Amino acid sequence: MNIIVCIKQVPDTTEVRLNPETGTLIRDGVPSIMNPDDKAGLEAALRIKDKNAATVTVISMGPPQAEAILRESLAMGADEAFLITDKVFGGSDTLATSSILAAAIKTMSYDLIITGRQAIDGDTAQVGPQIAEHLGLVNVSYAEGIEVEGNYVVVKRQYEDRYHMIKAKMPCLITALSELNEPRYMTPGGIFDAYRQREVKILARPDLDVIDTNIGLKGSPTRVAKSFTKELKGKGTVVQLDVEESVDFLIESLQKKFVI
Amino acid sequence: MDFVLSKEQEMARKLFRDFAENEVKDLAQEIDETERFPKETVEKLARYGFFGIPLPKEYGGQGCDALTYAMCVEELSKVCATTGIIVATHISLCANPIKTYGTSEQKEKYLTPLAKGEKLGAFGLTEPNAGTDAAGQQTTAVLKGENYILNGSKIFITNGGVADVYIIMAMTDKSQGTRGISAFIVEKEFPGFSIGTKEKKMGIRGSSTTELVFEDCIVPKENLLGKIGRGFNIAMETLDGGRIGVAAQALGIAQGALDETIQYTKDRKQFGRSISAFQNTQFQLADMYARVEAARLLIYKAACVKDTGVRHSLESATAKLFASETAMAVTTKCVQLFGGYGYTREYPVERMMRDAKITEIYEGTSEVQRMVIAGSILK
C-alpha cells in the first residue's frame, strides 16, 4: 500500500509577536515548523505503516528551505520525500497550489493521500479537498480517526457536536485534524540518516504536467481586497445578575444600541 | 575552526529540547521531592533511541557523534539533572567501555541491548576506601575454574539497583598495584550480587544511587572486559568520556537556571520596575551568560576531540572543572536574584543549586580535574 502525505512548512504562530507600533506581525526570527494538522496526517500514515506493509511518501510544495520538514519526516520514518519547488510556483493561491500538488501526485502511485485539514498560516482548508477534485477522488475531511480495512479506510469524521463513521474505498483522500493523534518524535539516528544518507528529491515545473495559466500568480484567481489588523474590541461589561434581571439587562442594552 | 552546528546536529538539538520540555520538565520537581526514579521517562528515552546516541548502528545504536550526545545531556539537564545523569551514566560509563574494549561476543550480548535501551547500564569503581584514590581497590576477583569470584562492595553507584548491566573494577592481583585491577561486565542477576543501601542525597534525588555488594559473586570468565590487569586504564579512559557527560549535565543545569532567572528578573517588580532594569541584575546576568557560553565551548571542543578518536583527558578535565564550577556559581547567583522565592520550592532554582553541587564531586572531584590538568600541562 502506498500512502502520500502532503505537508507544509509554516511559521510557528505560537511564536509570532505583534509589532506594538504598527500592529503587524513580526515574522523575522520566527521558527518554521511542520504544520500541526499535516504532522498528524504523517503520524497517521506512519501508524498504518507500523501495522500494515505500507510505503509513506511525503511531498511538500514550497521554497528550498521547506526541505527541513521533509528531512524531519524522513527522520520520523517516512520512506521517500519530494520537494516541489520552482520560482514559477511563487504566489500560488490554494487553487494553483492544489493543481501543482495534484500534478506531482499523478507522477506517483498511491492508494491513500493524507493532507492536513488546514495550515495555521492560512486557515483556508481548501487545498486537500481541491487535490481530491483534481484527481477525481473521494475526499473525507476532518478525520479524527483512521483505520484501514482491506481496500477501504474507515474514517471518524469530526463535527462540532457528533461524528460520522465513513467507510471509503481506496484510492481516496483524507484531511487530518491535529487531534487525530500525538505525533512521534524523531530519533537522533533518524535525523543523521535523513541528512547524510537519504535524499529529498526535487520536482520542478518541467517535471509536472500542468498548464502555465493554472500555476503561480497567474493561475491564482484569489484576490486580496484588503489586508488589515483586527481592531481589539473593548473589554465588555460583566454583570452578576439573576436570570430575570439579566434578560432585562440584555434587552435594555441591545435597545440602547438599536440592535433590537 | 567552525563554530556552526551541522543541520543534523541542529535538528537533533531541537528534538532534545522538545522532548525535554514535553516529556521531562513536568516530572522534575516531583521526582526530586519523592526521590523517585523516573521509570516512565526512561522507557520513552529508550523508545526514541536516546540511550544509543553515540553508539554504532551495527549494535543497535543511533550512529551519531559525541557532540550530539553532549547536547542531549545538556538539554535534558536544563530541565532535570536527574534525567541527564541517567543517560550520561548509561552511555559514557557502561556502553562506551564495552564498545571500546569489548569482544565481538560481549558487544553482541551487552552493547546491543544497552544501545537499544532495552537494558540500563551502570559503572562501579568507587569504594568506601577508594574514592579519589581509585587505585586503592579492595574488591577482589579470583579466578576459580571457569568463573571469577568477586568479593567486596562499591558505593555511590549511579543507576544502582535500576541498572541491568554493571562495569565493575576489582583487584585480580594486589601485588601489581594499579596493574592488578581488572574490569568485569556483571549482570544484575549474577549469583552473589546484591544492591545495598540507597543513598539519600542533596540533589539529583530522582537518580538511584546505591551500594553494590559482591559476596562470592560468580562472574563467568568471558565477562572480563579488556585484558587482565588493564582495569585501571579502562576506568580512567572511560572517565575521560564520562566527564564530557557530567560537564554537559552541569552546563544544562547552569543554562536552565539562567533561563529561569532571565524570565524571573523581567517579571519581578521592585521599586516600581522590573529588577532586570537594575544594573546589578544586568551585570550579573551578563557575567553568568559569559561563563555558561565559555563552558559550552570547552565541552563542545572536548566532544569534538573525542570524535576524532584522539585521547582527550586534558580537554575533558578542563571542560568538567569549568562547567561544574560554573553550574555551582551560576545557580547560587540565580537563587540570590530570585531572593526569598528562590529559596522556596515554588521555583526550580533551589533544586538546580542542589543538583549542581554533585557535578563538582562525581566522576572525579574538581580537585581531581586540577590534578589531571596540572599533570598534563607540567609534562
Global pTM?
Answer: 0.92
E strand or H helix at A245, and its extent? helix A243-256
Residues 119-158 of B with CB under 8 A from A: none
For B33, the grid coordinates are: 521531592
Taking CA–CA distances from B16, the nearest residue in chain A reads: A188
pLDDT, position B183: 98
pLDDT, position B19: 98
How far CA B319 is from CA of B88, B234, B237, B300, B327, in Å, comes to 15, 20, 15, 9, 12
Residue A71 burial (CB count, 10 A): 24
Inform me whether the C-beta atom of residue A75 falls under 8 Å from chain B C-beta atoms.
yes
Mean pLDDT of the A116-136 span: 94
Beta bridge partners of A145: A156
Nearest to B242 by CA among B70, B372, B37, B75: B70
Beta-carbon separation of B61 and A187 below 8 A: no
pLDDT, position A205: 96
Beta-carbon separation of B50 and A194 below 8 A: no
Mean pLDDT value across chain A: 93
DSSP 8-state symbol, B172:
S
Residue A157 has pLDDT above 70, yes or no: yes
Beta-carbon separation of B57 and A187 below 8 A: no
pLDDT, position A23: 64
Which amino acid is residue A27, in one-letter code? R
Inform me whether the C-beta atom of residue B57 falls under 8 Å from chain A C-beta atoms.
yes
Which amino acid is residue A129, in one-letter code? P
Reported in sequence order, the residue ranges of A53-136 that DSSP labels E, i.e. its strands, are 55-61, 80-84, 112-116
pLDDT, position A25: 66
Query: Among the residues of chain B, which ranges form H helices?
Result: 7-19, 25-34, 39-47, 66-79, 81-88, 96-101, 104-106, 112-115, 231-267, 279-308, 313-338, 340-343, 349-359, 366-377
Mean pLDDT value across chain B: 97
Residue A15 has pLDDT above 90, yes or no: no
Taking CA–CA distances from A187, the nearest residue in chain B reads: B48
Taking CA–CA distances from A189, the nearest residue in chain B reads: B62
Cβ–Cβ under 8 Å, residues B159 and B121: yes
Residue B30 backbone class (left: φ over 0; alpha: ψ -120 to 50; beta: rest): alpha
For B25, the grid coordinates are: 520538565
Inform me whether the C-beta atom of residue B213 falls under 8 Å from chain A C-beta atoms.
no
Cβ–Cβ under 8 Å, residues B51 and B112: no
Where chain B has pLDDT below 70, the residues are none
- Alpha carbons B38 and B325: distance in angstroms, whole number: 27
Residue A17 has pLDDT above 80, yes or no: no
B215 catalytically annotated: no
Beta-carbon separation of A185 and B19 below 8 A: yes
Taking CA–CA distances from A76, the nearest residue in chain B reads: B48
Inform me whether the C-beta atom of residue B48 falls under 8 Å from chain A C-beta atoms.
yes
Residue A224 has pLDDT above 90, yes or no: no
Residues 302-341 of B with CB under 8 A from A: none
Percent of chain A with pLDDT over 70: 98
For B57, the grid coordinates are: 548502528
Beta bridge partners of A140: A174
Residue A24 has pLDDT above 80, yes or no: no
Inform me whether the C-beta atom of residue B222 falls under 8 Å from chain A C-beta atoms.
no
A124: buried, middle or exposed (CB in 10 Å: 19+, 13-18, 0-12)? middle
Considering CB atoms only, which of A71, A184, A189 is closest to B64? A189
Chain A positions in Cβ-Cβ contact with residue B75 (cut-off 8 Å): none
Residues 178-197 of A with CB under 8 A from B: 184-196
- Alpha carbons A162 and B94: distance in angstroms, whole number: 53
Mean pLDDT of the A182-188 span: 98
